[in-house]
Structure 1
Amino acid sequence: MSDQSRSEHILELARELLDDIELSRTSAENLVLKASRLARWVGSDEIRYWLKLEMGGYNSTNETSRKYMSITGRWTDIEKNLGYWGPLAQQEAAIAAEKAKLAALRTPDSSGEWASVAIANVTNAMNQTANNISRLSAIKSRVLAQLHSFVSEVYYEKEFDSLSESIFERYKSAVDTLIAESCGEVLEKIPSVMSRLSDGDEESISQALVTCRRIIEAFADSILPPTDQTIEIGGNTLKLDASKHQNRINAYVHQHIQSQSRKQKIRQNLSNLFDRISTGVHSDVTAEEANSLFLNVYLFLGEILHIRKDT
């Protein structure tokens, strides 16, 4: 199963489980079985073991078992090791049995010296049954709350991941189109960088960063070709010849953006990015840092190209 289909499967399963819990549309046993399937994909060892307890019953020897006896309110006397050890399905069945018992109890229609005793016995039985229902229902509610918490966390995490991937994919598609339209040479270099970064060794990382620098240089040539002219920015006269790639990008930004603060941020970002890439070519850079630098280059190109598109 691919990463995408796996993620979609987890998201769909979590969504179904949330609906099952919130709409009370399936039995407790089915909920636990379904949640166990989800936990096999994404759950911690503790969550998986807890759900196993909810399917097969608790025990008094395991630390996690005793912990969830407390969390789910199963203890009747923890010091004497007494409690409701059965799985959730057993508690649900007991609730149904107690409700049936309560429905069958009737105050006797009798008189005489035994009438008060009979009425008291039935009343006590009703109260005891109602208390049992209340205690068992509390256990079920706590288990469902724990299930809901686990499933919600999985669902919203996967929903956020899916949204993030969707946002990035849309942005990537737009940037790829702009690069292809404006500077196809840059687009041709990107697969080479990705391939070398995936290798992860020192030499491949260094070569990938060299290509990143060439991408920026080719990008500068495409948006503002070299010229013998100069430009004044912030009181500084900048040359725009073939070796001044940063100057030409900054000149392009200066010509197309009105906001001084945004110009400054882009200028600083470009300078830092170029310095880090140039330094990384000649020194040890981790694979994670190299990937981050490449992604920064890509996002930087996208920002500048969107400026071009908008103007």
Structure 2
Amino acid sequence: MGKQEDALALAGALLSEIELQQLEPVAVVLKASRLARLVGHDDLSTFTRFERGGYPPNTSWARFAKLAGREGTEAGKYYTVPLSRVESLATGADSAIQALAGGRQFGGDYSAIASREHDNKINGHSSNLATFRAISTQVVAVIYDMVADIYHELLFSNLQASLFSETQNLVDGTLAESSGSSLAKIESVSARLRDGDEESISQALTTCRRLIDSAADFLFTAREEAYNIGDGATLAVGKPQVLNRLQAFTHSANASKSRRDRLRVTLRELYSRCSAGTHDSVNAQEARFVFLQTYIVLGEVLTLKSANSIPDAVELRENGTDDQSADTVE
């Protein structure tokens, strides 16, 4: 597994262990420290460092101490000892309470005073025990919230990476034969786009347009006969009608009307932005998004081909009608 996968697995395991109360608070801090190191989470790293080693003399850490419920009875005072020491103090207070619980046999003239002092000691230890346990519980709760956020961020990021990787593999694999020259430039164009120079932008947009052209050639071969899209409407599907051929393909692939409309509009806008006359008005940031969106929409169109097992040369629908309204032609 990669670093991100390790972090996702660790975050998921830590959440489960906290929910099932399978770890002591100090163990939770140590495991969270490893997660913070894997993902580079500054707040979690700082918080766990203070909980492991204690809070320093300055007050730059006050925000974290408040999160952990370490505020004392006096304003500006905090319990700054490490969490391991807090746990030790809690254990000591609990032991003292247990020892005092069976010692209430008093006699003589001062029995009332002795009994009162005995009760005061128990109350004092009980108060300390409650404070120390509250700190430990709050530390675990703060870590749980941070780890939950990290887990969901990693999960979403992993899903995005997986979806884009699948789309990239689909586009590259399916178009490699028909548009190898364009695909060979993608990696270098992606790298050059980071520079933001005009030549790189122009080359990236030209590559996007060629990819769309190649997809149309691969999915729907150009022909002289018009394509019947239903309700008496036809599409010209010659070599120049790239977008019409892609529209005809999505229709033949039995995509829903709403999906065809969305793909048609998206491809039309992308194709327009990739035209030579618009290169000057596209900056590096927009070019990156145009490049990415081209990949995504072509991946979706190619998925229609895979899902329906449509042959490379889509058969013409010269006869019959479609019960859906006709799409806008190119």
- Please indicate the TM-score interval, normalised by the length of the shorter structure: 0.7 to 0.9
**Structure 1 residues 41, 303: closer, same or farther in 2, change over 3 A?**
closer
- Whether 1:98 aligns to 2:75 is no
Q: Secondary structure at the match of 2:287?
A: helix
**Comparing 249-258 and 96-105, the one that deviates more:** 249-258
| Partners of 2:208 and 2:274 within 8 A in 1 | yes
Q: What are the within-5 Å matches in structure 2 for residues 262-301 of structure 1?
A: 262-278=259-275, 282-301=279-298
- Whether 1:241 aligns to 2:245 is no
**Structure 1 residues 19, 172: closer, same or farther in 2, change over 3 A?**
same
Aligned to 1:254: 251
Q: Which has the higher contact order (CA 8 A, sep 6+)?
A: 2
**Structure 1 residues 117, 272: closer, same or farther in 2, change over 3 A?**
same
Letter in 1 for 2:163: I
d(CA) in 1 for partners of 2:33, 2:255: 56
C-alpha displacement at 1:62, in angstroms?
A: 2.3
Corresponding residue to 1:229 among 225, 229, 233:
225
Aligned to 1:121: 117
Aligned to 2:67: 71
**Structure 1 residues 88, 126: closer, same or farther in 2, change over 3 A?**
same
C-alpha displacement at 1:248, in angstroms?
A: 2.0
Identity %: 32
Aligned to 2:325: none
**Structure 1 residues 145, 122: closer, same or farther in 2, change over 3 A?**
same
Deviations 1:247-271 (A, max 9, x none): 2222333334363333322221221
Aligned to 2:48: 51
Aligned residues: 303
Which ranges of structure 1 fall in alignment gaps of 5 or more residues?
none
d(CA) in 2 for partners of 1:18, 1:258: 42
- Whether 1:6 aligns to 2:3 is yes
TM-score normalised by L of structure 1: 0.84
d(CA) in 1 for partners of 2:256, 2:20: 52
C-alpha displacement at 1:42, in angstroms?
A: 3.3
C-alpha displacement at 1:188, in angstroms?
A: 5.3
Hey, which bits of structure 1, 4+ residues long, moved more than 6 A? none
Corresponding residue to 2:133 among 120, 126, 137:
137
Q: Once superposed, what is the RMSD of the aligned Cα atoms?
A: 2.8
Letter in 1 for 2:150: V
Q: Secondary structure at the match of 2:274?
A: helix
**Structure 1 residues 77, 43: closer, same or farther in 2, change over 3 A?**
farther
Aligned to 1:167: 163
C-alpha displacement at 1:217, in angstroms?
A: 1.5
C-alpha displacement at 1:36, in angstroms?
A: 2.7
C-alpha displacement at 1:280, in angstroms?
A: 7.4
Q: Secondary structure at the match of 1:243?
A: coil
| Partners of 1:107 and 1:119 within 8 A in 2 | no
Aligned to 2:183: 190
Which ranges of structure 2 fall in alignment gaps of 5 or more residues?
311-330
